[in-house]
Amino acid sequence: MRPITSPVLSHPSDRKATDSAPAPTRRAEGLMFLSLAVLVWPVIAVGTVSAYGFSIWMYQLLTH
């Protein structure tokens, strides 16, 4: 029997040279971090708190 190999779980050094994508640069990683830290996560946080407040408001409207 042949062992099952998964491209997701395999070690990067086990991959063939043909299916290797270019490694992200330090600058690209920094820009991705900044976009997540400054844009995406604050929007998700505000949306989550807003949705929670809206659900409490609707609950109070329907029960009182």
Read off the pLDDT of residues 1-58 as tens digits, 9 standing for 90 and up: 666 666 666 666 665 655 677 888 999 999 999 999 999 999 999 999 999 999 999 9
Host domain of residue 34: 26-63
Does any domain span residue 14?
Answer: no
Does any domain span residue 2?
Answer: no
Q: How far apart are CA 64 and CA 61, in angstroms?
A: 6
Does any domain span residue 36?
Answer: yes
Dihedral pair phi/psi, residue 59, rounded to 5°: -60, -45
Higher pLDDT, 18 or 63: 63
Contacts of 19 (CB under 8 A, 6+ apart): 7
Contacts of 15 (CB under 8 A, 6+ apart): 7
> In this predicted structure, what is the pLDDT of residue 21?
74
Does any domain span residue 33?
Answer: yes
> In this predicted structure, what is the pLDDT of residue 2?
66
Number of domains making up the chain: 1
Q: Which residue bears the tokens 């994508």?
A: 21
Does any domain span residue 6?
Answer: no
Nearest residue to 51 via CA among 59, 39, 40: 59
Does any domain span residue 15?
Answer: no
Over 60: is that where the pLDDT of 64 sits?
A: yes
Does any domain span residue 39?
Answer: yes
What does pTM read for this prediction?
A: 0.55
Does any domain span residue 52?
Answer: yes
